[in-house]
């Protein structure tokens, strides 16, 4: 519990490659009976967002069952889990769009969050240029908007109508809108729906590069570990509670991960990992056996 939450630890683990993924299966009990036990319940004071024991039930279904999560400055945390695991609900709670029934959350003072939602349907009834749309994120100067668009490779799109963009272009524009806010934390909820496989890999590479340049923390929700693994510092595997967490490699080898995603996914991940040197050559190749069916 202490290992992966400490700032800098993921890097150390990645270098030594020895730390196994941490297993958090006993959360329910910990919450119910050991609320005052000091060990796991204190917030990480250095984190951008630190949440402890988040519980949320809707219509009698417990969607979040005692989730702890920390996101540190400059860190890319990937949240994976099967459909219905509560990933989007957790993101909504962290964004303040929904209140958890129990648990506590601390945000760093003055934290600005940039958000890229999972679904974005362009409403053709509203005439809107790309520039104007980006400016809705923050009252920004024209140059700032242009810079944000250029940073995501959408510099030429400024005067186009939002409704004319392709899926990939729209994703970049959404990213530009979050960047124009100068965020301390970027939250992306499965930002690649409707984007092809090459576009998906490019988007993650772009996010990784922006993180290095701007130094913000990133919370990335994904259905699929192996496409994001190269960019992730830490992976949290969620299935209503945190099943396991740690550096990408250790999560991929964790039995809980294999149980959730099936041995096929774990094997495919191993294969992918093995060919890691050739990532760029393979970027355009589909990996049908490794991908979770999207429903």
Q: Which is nearer to another protein, 104 or 136 (CB)?
A: 136
Q: What is the rounded CA–CA span in Å between residue 222 and residue 287?
A: 16
Q: Please give the structure tokens belonging to residue 294.
A: 């999207």
Within 140-199, the residues that bind another protein by CB under 8 A are: 161, 177, 181, 187
Tell the smallest beta-carbon distance from residue 280 to another protein (Å).
Answer: 33
Stretch that binds another protein, among 71-79, 92-100, 222-230, 243-251 (CB under 8 A): 92-100
In eight-state DSSP terms, residue 129 is B
Q: Which is nearer to another protein, 11 or 136 (CB)?
A: 136
Q: Which residues lie closer than 8 Å to 179 by C-beta, 6 or more apart?
A: 114, 148, 151, 152, 186, 210, 214
Q: By CB under 8 A, is residue 123 in contact with another protein?
A: yes
> Counting contacts by CB under 8 A, is residue 139 touching another protein?
yes
Asked whether 141 and 156 are in contact (CB, 8 A), the reply is no
Q: Name the minimum Å distance from CB 132 to another protein.
A: 6
Instruction: State yes or no: residue 283 binds another protein (CB under 8 A).
Output: no
Task: Examine residue 286 and tell whether it contacts another protein (CB under 8 A).
Answer: no
Distance CA 209, CA 212 (A): 5
Please state the closest distance from residue 67 (CB atom) to another protein, in A. 19
Under the criterion CB under 8 A, does residue 96 sit at the interface with another protein?
yes
* CB nearer another protein, residue 172 or residue 254: 172
Helices (H), 180-224: 197-214
Calpha distance 225→252 (Å, rounded): 8
Cα 44 to Cα 40: distance, rounded to the nearest angstrom: 10
Binding footprint of another protein on the chain (CB under 8 A) = 95-97, 113, 115, 117, 120, 123-129, 132-133, 136-139, 161, 177, 181, 187
């Amino acid at each position: 519990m202490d290992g992966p939450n400490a700032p800098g630890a993921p890097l150390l683990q990645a270098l030594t490659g020895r730390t196994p993924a941490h297993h958090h299966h006993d959360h329910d009990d910990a919450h119910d009976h050991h609320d005052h036990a000091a060990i796991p319940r204190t917030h990480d004071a250095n984190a951008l967002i630190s949440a402890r024991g988040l519980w949320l039930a809707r219509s009698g279904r417990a969607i979040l069952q005692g989730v702890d999560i920390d996101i540190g400055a400059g860190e890319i945390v990937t949240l994976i889990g099967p459909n219905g695991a509560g990933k989007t609900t957790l993101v909504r709670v962290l964004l303040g769009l929904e209140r958890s029934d129990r648990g506590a959350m601390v945000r760093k003072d003055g934290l600005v969050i940039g958000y890229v939602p999972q679904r974005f349907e362009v409403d053709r009834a509203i005439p809107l240029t790309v520039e104007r749309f980006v400016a809705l994120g923050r009252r920004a100067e024209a140059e700032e908007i242009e810079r944000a668009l250029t940073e995501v490779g959408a510099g030429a799109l400024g005067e186009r109508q939002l409704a004319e963009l392709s899926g990939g272009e729209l994703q970049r524009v959404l990213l530009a809108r979050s960047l124009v806010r100068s965020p301390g934390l970027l939250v992306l909820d499965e930002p690649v729906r409707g984007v092809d496989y090459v576009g998906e890999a490019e988007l993650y590479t772009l996010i990784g590069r922006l993180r290095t340049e701007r130094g913000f923390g990133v919370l990335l929700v994904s259905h699929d570990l192996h496409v994001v693994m190269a960019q992730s510092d830490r992976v949290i595997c969620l299935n209503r509670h945190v099943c396991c967490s740690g550096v990408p490699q250790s999560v991929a080898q964790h039995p809980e991960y294999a149980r959730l995603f099936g041995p096929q996914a774990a094997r495919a991940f191993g294969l992918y990992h093995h060919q890691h040197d050739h990532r760029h050559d393979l970027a355009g190749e589909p990996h049908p056996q490794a991908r979770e069916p999207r429903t």
